[in-house]
Structure 1
Amino acid sequence: MLKLQKYSQQHLIIFTRYPEAGKTKTRLIPALGAVGAANLQRQMTEHTIFQVQELQKKTALSCEVRFAGGNWQLMQDWLGQDLAYHSQGGGDLGERMERSLREALQSGAQRVIIIGTDCPGVNSQILATAFEQTQAFDLVLGPALDGGYYLIGLHRYIKELFANIDWGTSQVLQQTMDIAQKLNLSHLYLPPLADIDRPEDLSIWKPSPLSPNPSPHNQTPRIF
């Protein structure tokens, strides 16, 4: 039975993939092996959730995990019963993000942030700043050094931001900003951060020393 989602005014959506060897972080397999790449995916997801948990100690925030690969039961066995899980569903990345944003806003959220788990620099302070700034700006973006973005924050539904983007390329951020400018959207950039996609990025992985290795049932964000 799926967990009933309760939405706070501030709602965070985490996009991740179930860490199955050979199907996760495949560009890192030459450096880490299939199991090692999957383990890194697991660790980065748990690190991201720990940062969300730290923020939830300070502010009301609901959270959900949108997953690819695996299934609901595997996700619950991994990250515990306190999270809401939804399949990312079909379509390209833009369609999947657009769908998650629309559903959150329709369910009562007023400020929505979407993040992935590939950027270990995303911490509770950055998330807090992003939520604060979504009150004042139409669009909040966290630029990634590879030309994409690690975070998008909105307080209203703007479907155009997720269409006609060359996802997975160095043009994602610029194309998104081109659309924002055409729509006359006010925007704010968060600090640029690096993500981990390729073997040369592995030196970035330095999780917080305060972050434990989460056990499946006691290191997950709560749902308000």
Structure 2
Amino acid sequence: MNTEKALIFFTRVPLPKRTKTRLLDFLTPSQTVKLHKKLILDINEELKKLKNTQIFVFYTPEDKKEILYNLLKSEYEFYPQSGDDLAQKMLNAFKQIRSLGFKKILLIGSDIVDISAKHISRCFDLLAQNNAVITPTFDGGYCLLGLQDVNIKNMYDIFSSNYSVRNTVYYGICSKFVELGIKTCKTKALRDIDTKEDIFAYILGVKTVKHLASGEYNINYKFKKSGENFVFRINTKSQIGLKNQIKYEYDALKILEISDVTPKPIRYFPPNLFLPRGAMSMQFLPGRPLRYDSDLDIASSMLAKIHSVKIPPKHSFIIAQRPLQVMMDECEKMSSIYLNSNFKKQNVSEFLQALIKVLKWFNLDREIKDPCIINTELNSGNFLINEGKKSYIIDWEKPIIGEKEQDLAHFLAPTTTFWKTDVILDLEEMQNFLDKYERILPVDRAKFNEYLGMTFLRGLSWCAMAYVEYQGSRAIKNQTTYKKINEYLSDKFLSILHSKFLKDIL
């Protein structure tokens, strides 16, 4: 079939680690292949709707045509891409199709999520009154380029220019059209998928997302919709071994919403090819991290509100069974990595072994009493403080049904406070905090002391394990963390724990 309209479908063959490589910081190689296949197939469904248009597939690598041919299952003509870079490859594709006698030629990429046959047909129509038509992408590039009656010299100029010196590639090529006197029509922008941020913006239906913060197990972005700011949250893995970590967090926040001190969950996004682990959006909250010297009164009130939330009859929370024994098992496992390593130091080894021995005097087999919803990992960064206004507790990755004393001990323990703020509260400050908390809820001080001792052991055993794991290149890459780990394992810090706390609480 020969018509005056030709469409060049420019693509890579979907192969692991060779397709959509900029997504490998978010997706696995096999997931990028599945996603790219979906994008190609979705575009192909639109191409099938075009009338009087011949489709030419230009692909790379040259020896993998069969994969693409079997995927598309259409009577297109297939040509390997030729050239040293993308611009040269596109130029050669235009030249090759033009040599076949086609006048109106469009080239599109294979990662456009919202392209339609209607848009493509309109671009062909626009070429009737223009020498060029271009469709920008939201990231400053372009995903469709059409040319008609552009001479070879001008085509060389278009594709040989260095647009990296311009604000964007799209701005650069449009400026070149003006310079060459090429009459051009610009269409509305479409979304192409190059990075994980492109995925998130597409899923949310917004132009851009802005990175807000990242943790070891999550990524958070800020986005604006209908004039309001929101947070888009993705888990990269689960600390507690859940298959659907983000749904667990979403459900927890829905239950905790009644406390009025947690972010309001907006929407849950189930796992799919774009978001293999799912995602959620929630209310964006302003504020600063908690300061131990001025904000403990606010913190005590907020924690009491959290711990007062009634546990619903039906819920998905993990329930702590024999929490002290679970903590001890975890600590012994982490400590053993250090104690069995070539990097152990005698003073640290003796301290860990002595602390484990003493803490085993506790009734490790006891079950929880007076259960409530707890955060389990409270630190100053979990709080957003607004003087004179509402403050909040954020980051609910590991909420469980447990005992409030566990939350309180973890929040106040020096192994928690010293990590990010270098603050160590003394026992009197801890007792004052508990006194204020007890204006709302009672505290079992004996349980608090048990959890405080276990929190000391957990913090030290984690640092000991991490000390071993951080030997070599990892320490160089994470010097701040490695320095802090060494501070925790220093004689000075261990002496503070022993002299100021352990003698009194054990």
The answer to whether the superposition gives a TM-score over 0.5 is yes
Distance (whole Å) between structure 2 residues aligned to residue 38 and residue 179 of structure 1: 35
In the alignment, does 2:110 pair up with 1:117? Answer: yes
| C-alpha distance in structure 2 between counterparts of 1:153 and 1:127, whole Å | 10
Note the 1:138-153 alignment, pairs <5 A.
138-153=131-146
In 1, Cα distance between equivalents of 2:195 and 2:188: 21
User: Is 1:54 paired with 2:46?
Assistant: no
Aligned to 1:20: 15
Do the aligned partners of 1:148 and 1:170 also contact (CA within 8 Å) in 2? no
Distance 1:81 1:52, change over 3 A: closer
Quick one: which amino acid aligns to residue 103 of structure 2? Q
Partner of 1:197: 194
Q: What TM-score results when the alignment is normalised by the length of structure 2?
A: 0.37
Range 21-30 or range 129-138, more displaced: 21-30
What percentage of residue pairs aligned between the two structures are identical? 22
* Equivalent residue runs for 1:134-173 within 5 Å: 134-157=127-150, 158-166=155-163, 171-173=168-170
TM-score, normalization by structure 1 = 0.82
Deviation, structure 1 residue 80:
2.5
Report the CA distance between 1:161 and its aligned residue.
1.2
1:68 aligned to which of 57, 60, 66: 60
Q: Deviation at 1:170?
A: 6.1
The one-character-per-residue Cα deviations of 1:44-93 (angstroms, maximum 9, x if unpaired) are 011111111122xxx20100110112522232232225121111122211
2:183 pairs with one of 171, 175, 186: 186
SS of alignment partner, residue 32 of structure 1 = coil
Indicate the larger mover: 64-73 or 130-139: 64-73
In the other structure, the counterpart of 1:44 is: 39
1:79 is the counterpart of 2:79? no
In structure 2, relative to structure 1, the CA distance for the partners of 1:194 and 1:81 (3 Å cut) is closer
Is 1:66–1:85's contact at 8 Å kept on the other side of the alignment?
A: yes
The alpha-carbon distance between structure 1 residues 107 and 128, as it changes in their structure 2 partners (threshold 3 A), is same
CA distance in 2, matches of 1:81, 1:141: 26
CA distance in structure 2 between the aligned counterparts of 1:145 and 1:81, rounded to whole angstroms: 30
Alignment CA distance shift 1:44-1:8 (3 Å): same
2:46/2:117 contact within 8 Å kept: yes
**Secondary structure at the counterpart of residue 188 of structure 1:** strand
Q: What are structure 1's unaligned runs of at least 5 residues? A: 1-5, 207-224
* Aligned AA (2:144): L
1:25–1:173 Cα change, 3 Å: same
RMSD: 1.8
- Quote the offset at 1:156 in angstroms: 2.4
Structure 1 runs of 4+ off > 6 angstroms? none
Larger radius of gyration: 2
Deviation at 1:164, TM superposition (A): 1.7
- Is the Cα–Cα contact under 8 Å of residues 54 and 76 in structure 2 kept in the other structure? no
- Contact 1:13/1:66, CA 8 A, preserved across alignment: yes
Larger helix fraction of residues = 2
2-side partners of 1:127 and 1:205: how far apart?
23
> What's the CA shift for 1:176?
0.6
More moved, 105-114 vs 71-80: 71-80
| Distance in 2 between residues matched to 1:155 and 1:149, nearest whole Å | 18
CA distance in 2, matches of 1:36, 1:149: 25
The CA distance in 2 between the partners of 1:40 and 1:143, in whole Å, is 22
Number of matched pairs: 197
Gaps of 5+ in 2: 205-506
